[in-house]
Amino acid sequence: MGPSTMAAAVTENPSITILNVLRLEPSRSNWAIFSLWFQEAMEANQKWGHFDGSSTHPAPVDPDKPTDDEKAMQAEWDWNETVVKYLLTQRMPDSAAMCLHPITLVTDR
């Protein structure tokens, strides 16, 4: 697999790099390395914007009449938000995941 093929595989399948991220310990004793590795994995998969707030939900020009392209962009953003929430909760203690579950947006977690 060449570099361009590998890059495509990583961005198409976030689980490739997220599997290498340690699980956050309930005591948070490994927070420093966890946060570093998790951020790098999300950046490698072009998903970090959902955590730092730079990727916001796209708004249609006319909220009453969104175009098909605008609807597609919103659906893609919603899907990516669901993926990053899943990836985050898979790497944190179950008790923390349960507390954060009701929070809708990743930036609020």
What are the boundaries of each domain within the chain? 3-108
pLDDT in tens, 40-49: 989 988 999 9
Calpha distance 38→35 (Å, rounded): 5
| Structure confidence at residue 99 (pLDDT) | 87
Q: What confidence category does residue 6 fall into, taking pLDDT thresholds of 50, 70 and 90?
A: very low
pLDDT in tens, 52-103: 999 999 999 999 999 999 999 999 999 999 989 888 988 999 988 888 888 8
Q: Chain-centre distance of CA 48, in angstroms?
A: 6
Calpha distance 50→82 (Å, rounded): 10
Calpha distance 100→85 (Å, rounded): 10
pTM: 0.74
Q: What confidence category does residue 22 fall into, taking pLDDT thresholds of 50, 70 and 90?
A: confident
